[in-house]
Amino acid sequence: MRKKIVAGNWKMNMDYSTGIALAEGIRDYFKNKVPVCEVIICSPFIHLASLQNILKGSIIKYGAQNCHQEESGAYTGEISAGMIKSTGAEYVIIGHSERRTYFGEDDSLLNRKTKTALARGLKVIFCCGEVLAEREKEIHFEVVKRQLTDGLFNLTEEQMKNIVIAYEPVWAIGTGLTASPAQAQEMHRFIRENLEAGYGRKIAEETTILYGGSCKASNAAELFSMPDVDGGLIGGASLKKDEFCAIAEAVH
């Protein structure tokens, strides 16, 4: 059976000490009750090295929100996949819509980043999703298919085993508008069908597909009850310990 995951994406929030306190709070919450899903914290880079100690012996995993496409070199201000891995992090988010929109990251760049991250031993949470105008024009399936085909689907089967896909309709991110469970299921099913067409049934069945976009404790259970929704990528609600932990507990 495929892994269920709830991952928090802190984005550019939390300073050093508030981030550490939040990670400790989540760790302590799950000390004696093990959730059904894997719980991941994707923090700003500044927390990663400290999370290694804080989360030692805990079931909570952690990761970054971006990495550079090159292995190393003269790229002032950038962080490499190898550096992330050296902190003990297991995951990196690639292709978040905010990276696509504000930093001009396109499918081919995201494909390079994904391959570099995988080569350095990280697992990749690869994001896709349409903007509102694309859904209104009813080209959302086409858009997601293009993002996956150009960004992801030239990986090998072996590489694909270290990919988690996150479907995040951009119109639902940070807006309070959530995709309905039926809308999420429809797209997740579509993604899984495309996985099957490219990689066969086993990989399609084993790939975790997360929903992201205004997911919170009050709507998580319903979204996660959909057969192809394997958990969530959580933005705003991951900044509050109780809310985030409740979302993780909504996975059954």
Separation between Cα atoms, residue 9 and residue 40, nearest integer Å: 9
Question: Of 48, 78, 76, which is closest to residue 62 (Cα–Cα)?
Answer: 48
Q: Which is nearer to ligand PGA, 89 or 173 (CB)?
A: 173
Residue at 29: amino acid letter: Y
Cβ atoms < 10 Å from Cβ of 198: 17
In eight-state DSSP terms, residue 228 is T
Q: Which is nearer to ligand PGA, 35 or 95 (CB)?
A: 95
Site mask for ligand PGA (CB under 6 A), range 162-181, x = bound: ------x----xx-------
Closest distance between ligand PGA and the C-beta of residue 174, in Å?
Answer: 4
The residue number whose beta carbon is nearest to ligand PGA equals 235
Do 183 and 140 contact (CB within 8 A), yes or no?
Answer: no
Asked about 168 being catalytic, the answer comes back as yes
Choose the catalytic residue: 47, 96, 140, 188: 96
Closest distance between ligand PGA and the C-beta of residue 182, in Å?
Answer: 19
Closest distance between ligand PGA and the C-beta of residue 66, in Å?
Answer: 12
Kindly report the backbone phi and psi dihedral angles of residue 124, in degrees, each rounded to the nearest multiple of 5, phi listed first: -110, 130
Q: Which is nearer to ligand PGA, 204 or 248 (CB)?
A: 248
Choose the catalytic residue: 98, 134, 168, 249: 168
Q: What angle do CA 40, 159, 63 make, to 5 degrees?
A: 20
Is residue 95 at the binding interface for ligand PGA, with CB under 6 A as the rule?
no
Q: Which is nearer to ligand PGA, 14 or 234 (CB)?
A: 234
Asked about 98 being catalytic, the answer comes back as no
Do 211 and 167 contact (CB within 8 A), yes or no?
Answer: yes
Closest distance between ligand PGA and the C-beta of residue 54, in Å?
Answer: 22
Contacts to ligand PGA from residues 184-223, by CB under 6 A: 212-215
* Cα Rg of the chain (Å, integer): 17
* Pair of tokens at residue 41: 């914290």
- Assign 209 to helix, strand or coil: strand
Q: Which is nearer to ligand PGA, 95 or 212 (CB)?
A: 212
- Assign 68 to helix, strand or coil: coil
Is residue 151 at the binding interface for ligand PGA, with CB under 6 A as the rule?
no
User: Which residues form the interface with ligand PGA (CB under 6 A)?
Assistant: 9, 168, 173-174, 212-215, 233-237
- Which residues form the catalytic set? 96, 168
